[in-house]
Amino acid sequence: MSIKKRIVGVVGLGHVGAHVAYNLGMMGVADEVKLCDKNADKVASECNDLMDAAYFMPHRVVYKVVDYAGLADCDVIVNAVGKIELLATLNRDSEMENSVKEVASFVDKIMAGGFDGIFVNITNPCDVITDLVQKLSGLPRNRVFGTGTGLDSSRLISAISQQTNLEHHSFTAFMMGEHGNAQMVPWSLISFHGKPLSELKGDPRFDFDHEEMTKRVINGAWTTFKGKKCTEYGVAATGATVVRSILHDEKKIMPVSAYLDGEYGETGIYCGIPAVVGANGVEQVMEYTLTDDEKAEFKRCCDAIRGNIAKAEQFWKK
């Protein structure tokens, strides 16, 4: 009898990738984490540092440095490549050309090695790069998806928690649309353990300034970036949580960048929406009833993503 190890690959060992690798160990998600980065000195140092922390992890975890071909037996690969200094513009689209060219340079190498698992993309612009990874890998769309509005939803939940003084898991709320400026809050779907937000009018704790709250969530990344010139804890925790849902087959409903094939009237793009995540990747897109205003706003978000996908194609189809 042999017991299958849970093997996860992380491509790109910058601020985000290194923290994803760390969380995969500290959260007890993976048995083996394979690290891949074009900077040999950086990835070797990160591997050594992570192995120094392995003693304090809940179970045995082995970290290894590999090349692209060495990722072949991974169950899940997390793409976290990027160039953080490009975010100085405070717009994730500024990363597009660099991200597209980097991803286009290695996905075929990973696939040539025989990889047949699930890709989870973090690299920005998230929805655009997730679309690119799927096209270049040829994997089924449900087995390529991104963290999308998962982090943005966490920011929304944190903001609601702070205003209401309620614990983060005591209510349901999420962001939809682009992991970027073109995202929206479906206010009609926010509920407090079954009680809709609309039924809590009159209590100042639940009187939200919709415009201010949306801006707060969208600008949350830049608030973090301003002082430390990166974001890492929140997005890395998001990525590790997605991987855990896959490897543990949790069937967890969570906001991710998933492919839309008619849901919400949209087709042919990856977009941040709630979906069931399990062993088969995105197993179901959750289609909720939106108000007419929310439908119009979500369509604007999707149009922005569609436009960015078209822009990205010029960088990898040359």
Q: Which residues are catalytic?
A: 179
Sole residue written with tokens 């966490």? 154
What does the alpha-carbon distance between residue 5 and residue 33 come to, in Å, rounded to a whole number? 10
What does the alpha-carbon distance between residue 174 and residue 156 come to, in Å, rounded to a whole number? 7
What does the alpha-carbon distance between residue 92 and residue 55 come to, in Å, rounded to a whole number? 37
